[in-house]
Chain A
Amino acid sequence: DVVLTQSPLSLPVTLGQPASISCRSSQSLLYSDGNTYLNWFQQRPGQSPRRLIYKASNRDSGVPDRFSGSGSGTDFTLRISRVEAEDVGVYYCMQGTHWPPFTFGPGTKVDIK
């Protein structure tokens, strides 16, 4: 099974400042069709997860443009250009290239300093 590791696991941030979360995979997530099936999810406190980014770098509809995803192969990054209070929560990466099983990273908790 593909193992995803995230760093850091805890990320205190200052409002208005940028933030960055890394997700590394135990094997390449490039699929034979040329796509890379790496998604990012946000889970605010007490809420369901919400997908932010799909195929590594595509922002979902309604997601603020301060969120961006990048990376390829085994190394991926979620960036928040300027953190807002509503961005507090846990962020998960998930791979859909080598499934079953789908696998999630352990999550990165973002809170305000």
Chain B
Amino acid sequence: EVQLVESGGGLVQPGGSLRLSCTTSGFTFSSSAMSWVRQAPGKGLEWVSTISDSGGSTYYADSVKGRFTISRDNSKKTLYLQMNSMRAEDTAIYYCAKGDGMNVWGQGTTVTVSS
């Protein structure tokens, strides 16, 4: 069974940093692109970032470009999202999703940016 488990969320002050992790199992992680998608409270889904299977290609939404960095460790089957210079509008549930087709999602981790 494919499983994705996010962690690392929490409360952070504006301008602060946080690193999210997504640990995976049940599929060949090194052969799959991976994505992060977020959902602000009471709002819809917003794509954040995608990384290729090798990690050699990364893509970002304009809203996070230059502040967030997606990465992966294929030996650990883990996906990461480093979030810097955080803003109140980054407050959301962050989901990792398998592939660029997003066929499997984790349960999400909550990030709150507030002073």
Contact = CB atoms under 8 A, between A and B. Distances in A.
Interface string B61-101: 11000000000000000000000000000000001000011
Nearest to A54: B101
Given A99-B59, A100-B59, A102-B100, A50 B47 contact: no
A101 B47 contact: yes
Q: For the side of the interface on B, what is the size category?
A: 20 to 34
Nearest to A102: B47
A43 B42 CA distance: 12
A27 to B, nearest CB: 17
Contacts of B106: 48
Given A41-B45, A92-B44, A101-B61, A51 B100 contact: no
B50 interface: yes
A94 B45 CA distance: 9
B100 A50 contact: no
Contacts of B95: 48-49
A101 B62 contact: yes
Nearest to A1: B62
B11 interface: no
Nearest to A6: B44
B103 to A, nearest CB: 5
A4 to B, nearest CB: 10
Contacts of A92: 44-45
12 contacts: A49-B102, A51-B101, A51-B105, A92-B44, A99-B59, A100-B59, A100-B61, A101-B59, A103-B47, A104-B46, A107-B44, A107-B45
